[in-house]
Amino acid sequence: MAEKLKDHYNTEYAEFLGRKIRTVYADFPEKQFTAYIKQNINGKEFIERQDVFADALELTLPPEYPEAVRIFSGILGPELETETGMFSDGWWLWPVGRYVERHGIQDIPVSLAFIKELTKRFTGEFALRPLLAQKPKQILRTVQKWSKDKNVHVRRLSSECLRIRLPWAKKIYIFADEFETCREILSNLRHDKSRFVQKSVGNNINDLYKEFPEKAEAIVEEWRSDNPSEATLWIINHGLRSTRKKQTGSAAQTHKEF
């Protein structure tokens, strides 16, 4: 039987993460951290395991949030050299992101700076979403800048964090309240040469069609009428996939009835 994603986050991984933290934080109670994981990890599903690790980090790291982030920054390692690798190489950073997801609101500038670096090694949208939910206008100003960043992972993050139906995350409806800003962010990315970014923007449009079809259609029609590039056309096509499937299903049902 193939190993499930959740199975990577086990006691062996706890020892691995503890050793990494100890290299930059000599007072880290590695044994206490690992013992907590061993006592609480059994029978837990994927997100529950992330919470167990986040609980353990809360118990063993300094209580000052900026200091905890400083420690995390010390273990990040080199940036990904390609568009791929966020889960194959950066998977071990998920509990770190979970910790920031829980506590990021304590110091927004510190959190934003760290999330930008985290996404270059793993992904940052999960840690960013609580900030977006609580301080949308403030956070979107930074996300707008990220949509023009030279780093492909940062540009992808500027789209991915806005998705209504992001897997493994609660829905957020920032498009409903901050539509014009969100549209501007996606428009900044519509000519992006990276398929990695294009796919995220297309997924955003696909999500939007499911929740606010009139808003999705407004974006798509604007892009279609403005000399769309090959990248834009690919994004639109990817963003329409669920709508096409629904229309095909409805047509088939109508044909069956008649």
Tell me the pLDDT tens digit for each residue of 124-177.
999 999 999 999 999 999 999 999 999 999 999 999 999 999 999 999 999 999
Q: For residue 228, is it left (φ>0), alpha (ψ between -120 and 50) or beta?
A: beta
Q: HSE (CB half, 13 Å, CA atoms) of 36?
A: 17
Instruction: Give Cα 206 to chain centroid, integer Å.
Output: 17
Q: Render pLDDT for 219-252 as a digit per residue (tens, 0 to 9).
A: 999 999 999 999 999 999 999 999 998 776 554 4
Burial 204-214 (b: 16+ CB within 10 A, else e): bbbbbbeebee
Rounded mean pLDDT, 210-222:
97
Q: Are residues 159 and 205 in contact, defined by beta-carbon separation less than 8 angstroms?
A: no
Gyration radius of the chain's alpha carbons: 20
Q: Are residues 150 and 191 in contact, defined by beta-carbon separation less than 8 angstroms?
A: no
- What the block records as the tokens of 50 is 């992330």
- pLDDT(2) > 70: no
- pLDDT(258) > 60: no
Q: What is the pTM of this model?
A: 0.93
Burial class from Cβ neighbours inside 10 Å (0-12, 13-18, 19+) for residue 95 reads buried
Mean pLDDT value across the chain: 94
With CA atoms as reference, report the closest residue to 207 among 240, 246, 229.
240
Rounded mean pLDDT, 101-130:
98
Q: Are residues 9 and 57 in contact, defined by beta-carbon separation less than 8 angstroms?
A: no
Residue 113 CA to residue 69 CA, distance in Å, equals: 10
Residue 84 CA to residue 88 CA, distance in Å, equals: 8
- pLDDT(78) > 90: yes
Q: Render pLDDT for 7-24 as a digit per residue (tens, 0 to 9).
A: 999 999 999 999 999 999
